[in-house]
Structure 1
Amino acid sequence: MMREEIATMSMSEKIILMEAIWDSLETEIDELQPPDWHQDVLSDRIERLNTGQVKLISLQELKNRIR
């Protein structure tokens, strides 16, 4: 399916298509392996959190910051 075809679809047709794609991916989930660098990034972020270099904020705090 090409972008042009998708662009002509209604919103409900696009949602149905997305659901079908997600359903098809679910059956192939065992084949999906994240790249090794993902673990490196996660480990680095956890380390920075544990050492106090960064802190978590709530979604509300984030919304307040960007207003």
Structure 2
Amino acid sequence: MIQDEIRQKIDKLNVSEKILLVSDIWDSIAQDCSAMPPIQGWHKKELDQRIEEYESGKAELFDWKEVHNELREEFK
């Protein structure tokens, strides 16, 4: 079965490679927003709080591409 073959290949990856793989998988899932489940109440509350922090200038911001590239370099 192909799923078993994929699992065997994943098991051979080191931790940093697994993390990058999960990130890539999540990115591919996020591209199809119609497949996403609805946001739960606790999650919406957290998002609203973060938006408020952002709009008030209290949030520390990081460019995702820079963070992503730094992680890829660090865990090569």
Q: Say yes or no: TM over 0.5.
A: no
* TM-score, normalization by structure 2: 0.39
